[in-house]
Amino acid sequence: MFSSTGKRSIYAAAVLATALALVGSTVASAGEAATIEDLERRVRELEQMLADVKATSGEAADPRFTELERQIDVLTREIEKLSLGEAAPEAEESRHGLGPAASKVYATRRGVSLGGYGELLYRNFDATNESGTPAGESDTIDLLRFVLYTGYKFNDTMLFNSEIEFEHATTGEGDEERGEVSVEFAYLDFLLREPLNVRAGLVLVPVGFLNELHEPPVFLGSARPSVERFLLPTTWREVGAGVFGDVGTLTYRAYLTSSLASVAGTSSGAEGFTAEGIRDGRASGSSAAADDFALSGRLDWKPVPGLLLGASLFSGDTSQGQSTPTGEAIDGRITLWDAHGEYRWRGLQARALFVQTAIDDTARINEAQGFSGAESVGERQYGYYLELGFDVLAARETHGAALIPFVRRERYDTQDRVPAGYAADPAHDVTVSTLGLVWKPIPHIAVKADYDRVENEARSGVDRFQLALGFLF
């Protein structure tokens, strides 16, 4: 007969064998289709079984108990990874025109995805402008924006994706310049097949380089290029629906959406067009007027690896039911197009973009807005930039680190042509020359420094030095 100690040892060994078998089964399930809740339940059962054996067997010092505890701990961490892993796959690849972090939901197998980015910007302005008079600018440091991407993948064909942006660190006192919280996009995708998919919701207008792909480590420069901020303008989103897909070496997106508002109206959050451009015509999905709609589209071609050539278009009326004080109807049709190209080869990065905007009925828009003289909305606007950078670490084994000196040249004019009876302000005919450096210790983090030489035809441009810290996850 066995002694009581022997019986306890046999009992402990049997329970240990059962527990280790359960661990193996649970580990196998973790790699299969078992739910996280089921795996967590199994781990709780193992922990309870281990506690019972220790309490009754007197064999707590058995090294098999130590091994079992270690395996349960490893398994618990693996389940935590599974729980977070579905929500936080690596932000590595851009998909469907979006940045790496914004694309994470597409890499998720099922359920919630989380991502985001942020950027902090320091600006130091010269004391005088190009004519030698006091500039009147104050140096600033700003948590420019912090963004969270949240998505949910319902199944292999349907998903939700969104971007919520917090600007300037805080809000309050009714002053938008102190900061705001905005939904940058919120849409549903119906992934039918590679050449044809459907998107509906608050969508990014598919123009330029940065309106869709604006995460700080992705672009050179402490700030987005002026051409892509004032003429396109980032971040520009509208409510609507459309299609997108890939056909061989071609990628396209096409939407029917709400349009801009050229005249401020009570039914729209937009403030209307100004001499500075169309930026204030965005309602951004916030009680946006829906009297006028617009078509937008984009086509990109990648004939060889590293080379992208493309164009985009936005066209639609913009009066949103408003008229002049004398009752004259306004169409305010806008036609905005851009042509863009990018080439990447080894450490070389080169970009070029040209954009032109034509606006009808600008005299009537001016009248409705109460503008006179040089306050006129430009009936034609244009801009371009050329950018060249080179990663000097590209030929070395740096585990993703990069050091990229770059140069950029921009020219834009938001009043290239104005209607008869109005004047163009030469301060809106601007040239910006940028010399900068970007260091990326890893692809997800960028430290940037650059100097902008700002010139305009009124000789009132103010040069600035900028530092920025950007990240995505």
Task: Give tens-digit pLDDT for 158-209.
Answer: 999 999 999 999 886 655 557 889 999 999 999 999 999 999 999 999 999 9
Residue pair 57/8 in contact by the 8 Å Cβ criterion: yes
Q: Identify the H or E element spanning 133.
A: none
Residue pair 207/312 in contact by the 8 Å Cβ criterion: yes
User: Can you tell me the distance from the alpha carbon of 360 to that of 380, in angstroms, rounded to the nearest whole number?
Assistant: 9
Q: Average the pLDDT over each of 42-51, 133-142, 164-173, 373-382 and give the range with the smallest value.
A: 42-51
Residue pair 269/286 in contact by the 8 Å Cβ criterion: yes
Q: Return the CATH architecture of domain 104-472.
A: Beta Barrel (2.40)
pLDDT of residue 81: 54
CB atoms within 10 A of CB 119: 24
Domains of the chain, residue spans:
4-87, 104-472
Q: Average the pLDDT over each of 52-66, 179-193, 235-249, 445-459 and give the range with the smallest value.
A: 52-66
Comparing 122 with 73, which gets the higher pLDDT?
Answer: 122
User: Can you tell me the distance from the alpha carbon of 149 to that of 473, in angstroms, rounded to the nearest whole number?
Assistant: 10
| Percent of all residues in the chain with a pLDDT value above 70, rounded to a whole number | 81
Does the pLDDT at position 22 exceed 90?
no
The residue behind tokens 């901020």 is 229
Give 355-359's long-range contacts (Cβ < 8 A, gap of 24+). Answer: 355/207, 355/208, 355/227, 355/231, 355/232, 355/382, 355/383, 355/384, 356/380, 356/381, 356/382, 357/231, 357/278, 357/381, 357/382, 358/334, 359/262, 359/273, 359/278, 359/318, 359/332, 359/333, 359/334
Does pTM top 0.85 for this prediction?
no
| Percent of all residues in the chain with a pLDDT value above 90, rounded to a whole number | 74
Selection from 186, 214, 200, 33 nearest residue 119 by Cα: 214
pLDDT band at 270 (very low <50, low <70, confident <90, very high): confident
pLDDT band at 47 (very low <50, low <70, confident <90, very high): confident
CB atoms within 10 A of CB 369: 20
Residues 215, 218, 221, 224: is their CA dihedral positive or negative?
A: negative
pLDDT of residue 178: 74
User: Can you tell me the distance from the alpha carbon of 428 to that of 415, in angstroms, rounded to the nearest whole number?
Assistant: 7
User: Can you tell me the distance from the alpha carbon of 10 to that of 17, in angstroms, rounded to the nearest whole number?
Assistant: 10
CB under 8 Å to 143, separation ≥6 — which residues? 118, 119, 120, 168, 169
First to last CA, the chain: 64
User: Can you tell me the distance from the alpha carbon of 288 to that of 381, in angstroms, rounded to the nearest whole number?
Assistant: 24
pLDDT of residue 30: 47
Q: What is the dihedral of CA 236, 241, 247, 252, to 10 degrees?
A: -20
Side-chain-facing half-sphere of 414: CA atoms under 13 Å: 23
Let me know if 458 is exposed, middle or buried by CB neighbors in 10 A (0-12, 13-18, 19+): middle
Q: For residue 50, what are the β-bridge partners? A: none
CB atoms within 10 A of CB 170: 12
Does the pLDDT at position 13 exceed 70?
no
Mean pLDDT of 410-437: 98
Does the pLDDT at position 353 exceed 60?
yes
Does the pLDDT at position 31 exceed 50?
no
pLDDT of residue 451: 98
pLDDT band at 93 (very low <50, low <70, confident <90, very high): confident
- Number of residues in the chain: 473
User: Can you tell me the distance from the alpha carbon of 14 to that of 444, in angstroms, rounded to the nearest whole number?
Assistant: 50
User: Can you tell me the distance from the alpha carbon of 391 to that of 28, in angstroms, rounded to the nearest whole number?
Assistant: 44
pLDDT band at 33 (very low <50, low <70, confident <90, very high): very low
Q: For residue 197, what are the β-bridge partners? A: 244
